[in-house]
Amino acid sequence: MSEWIDINERLPEVSFTHVLVTKHYHNTPELKHVTRSFFIKDRIHARENKGSYSRKLQGKNSVHFDESDCGFVITHWMPMPEPAI
Protein backbone atom coordinates (compact mmCIF):
# COMPACT_ATOMS: atom_id res chain seq x y z
CA MET A 1 0.00 0.00 0.00
CA SER A 2 1.00 3.59 -0.52
CA GLU A 3 1.77 6.15 2.15
CA TRP A 4 -0.83 8.74 3.19
CA ILE A 5 -0.44 12.02 1.28
CA ASP A 6 -1.39 15.33 2.89
CA ILE A 7 -3.87 17.18 0.65
CA ASN A 8 -1.88 20.37 1.22
CA GLU A 9 1.22 18.73 -0.29
CA ARG A 10 -0.37 17.26 -3.41
CA LEU A 11 -3.61 15.98 -4.92
CA PRO A 12 -4.06 13.11 -7.38
CA GLU A 13 -2.74 13.97 -10.82
CA VAL A 14 -5.55 12.25 -12.73
CA SER A 15 -8.80 14.00 -13.67
CA PHE A 16 -10.98 11.66 -11.59
CA THR A 17 -10.53 8.51 -9.55
CA HIS A 18 -11.54 6.68 -6.38
CA VAL A 19 -9.10 7.05 -3.47
CA LEU A 20 -8.88 6.25 0.22
CA VAL A 21 -9.12 9.32 2.46
CA THR A 22 -8.81 10.24 6.10
CA LYS A 23 -11.60 12.55 7.18
CA HIS A 24 -13.14 14.19 10.22
CA TYR A 25 -16.29 16.18 10.74
CA HIS A 26 -15.59 19.91 10.74
CA ASN A 27 -16.00 20.38 14.52
CA THR A 28 -14.43 17.09 15.74
CA PRO A 29 -10.90 16.84 14.26
CA GLU A 30 -9.88 14.30 16.92
CA LEU A 31 -12.36 11.71 15.50
CA LYS A 32 -10.73 10.68 12.23
CA HIS A 33 -12.09 7.99 9.90
CA VAL A 34 -10.81 6.23 6.80
CA THR A 35 -13.15 5.76 3.86
CA ARG A 36 -13.31 5.63 0.07
CA SER A 37 -14.02 8.88 -1.74
CA PHE A 38 -14.31 10.03 -5.33
CA PHE A 39 -11.77 12.65 -6.43
CA ILE A 40 -12.38 15.01 -9.33
CA LYS A 41 -9.81 17.59 -10.37
CA ASP A 42 -12.20 20.20 -11.79
CA ARG A 43 -15.02 20.54 -9.25
CA ILE A 44 -16.57 23.56 -10.96
CA HIS A 45 -16.80 21.60 -14.22
CA ALA A 46 -18.53 18.78 -12.37
CA ARG A 47 -21.07 21.19 -10.88
CA GLU A 48 -21.87 22.70 -14.27
CA ASN A 49 -22.30 19.31 -15.94
CA LYS A 50 -23.87 17.17 -13.21
CA GLY A 51 -25.86 19.66 -11.14
CA SER A 52 -23.86 19.21 -7.92
CA TYR A 53 -22.80 22.30 -5.99
CA SER A 54 -19.18 23.35 -5.61
CA ARG A 55 -17.57 23.78 -2.20
CA LYS A 56 -14.74 25.58 -4.02
CA LEU A 57 -17.11 28.46 -4.77
CA GLN A 58 -17.97 28.59 -1.07
CA GLY A 59 -14.30 28.75 -0.01
CA LYS A 60 -14.41 25.45 1.92
CA ASN A 61 -11.63 22.87 2.36
CA SER A 62 -11.26 19.54 0.55
CA VAL A 63 -13.01 20.77 -2.56
CA HIS A 64 -12.05 17.87 -4.78
CA PHE A 65 -13.42 14.94 -2.75
CA ASP A 66 -17.09 13.92 -2.68
CA GLU A 67 -16.86 13.07 1.04
CA SER A 68 -16.35 16.78 1.73
CA ASP A 69 -19.85 17.43 0.37
CA CYS A 70 -21.18 15.61 3.45
CA GLY A 71 -19.58 18.14 5.83
CA PHE A 72 -16.31 16.25 6.33
CA VAL A 73 -12.83 17.75 6.09
CA ILE A 74 -10.43 15.55 4.12
CA THR A 75 -6.87 15.68 5.45
CA HIS A 76 -4.97 12.88 3.62
CA TRP A 77 -5.46 10.52 0.68
CA MET A 78 -3.83 7.52 -0.97
CA PRO A 79 -4.48 5.53 -4.15
CA MET A 80 -6.85 2.59 -3.84
CA PRO A 81 -4.96 -0.69 -3.33
CA GLU A 82 -4.95 -3.26 -6.09
CA PRO A 83 -7.70 -5.84 -5.60
CA ALA A 84 -6.62 -9.18 -4.17
CA ILE A 85 -7.48 -11.93 -6.61
Taking only the tens place, the pLDDT of each residue in 3-18 is: 999 988 988 888 788 8
CA distances from 56 to 16, 49, 80 (A): 16, 15, 24
If one compares 19 and 53, the residue with the highest pLDDT of the two is 19
Q: Which of the 8 DSSP states describes residue 65?
A: B
Percent of all residues in the chain with a pLDDT value above 70, rounded to a whole number: 68
The stretch 27-33 carries a mean pLDDT of 85
pTM above the 0.75 mark? no
